[in-house]
Amino acid sequence: MNSRGHRASNGPYRASHGLLLGVLQGLSVHFGLPVMPLRAAVVLLAVFLAFWPVVLAYVLMAFLMPRDPGFGP
């Protein structure tokens, strides 16, 4: 278990309790970062640098990252 009460994992998982697809929530749990600054950084990257590559990377991570087995089916 980490400091937030979630169990540690070997790799990042998509959190089933995330805002959209759980990618950023899962990454924040894996790396021990707060999720809101991570979400803000991704939105800023999408707005100011390149929208479609950021969206494509997010969708690819959503398909490649397994769902967190600790949060149900």
Quick: pLDDT tens for 37-65: 999 999 999 999 889 998 899 899 889 88
Q: Give me the pLDDT at residue 71, please.
A: 56
24, 39 Cβ separation under 8 angstroms? yes
Q: Give Cα 6 distance to the centre of its chain.
A: 14
- pTM above 0.75? no
Nearest CA-CA partner of 9 in 60, 72, 63, 70: 70
54 pairs with which residues across the strands? Answer: none
Q: What token pair was written down for 24? A: 């950023």
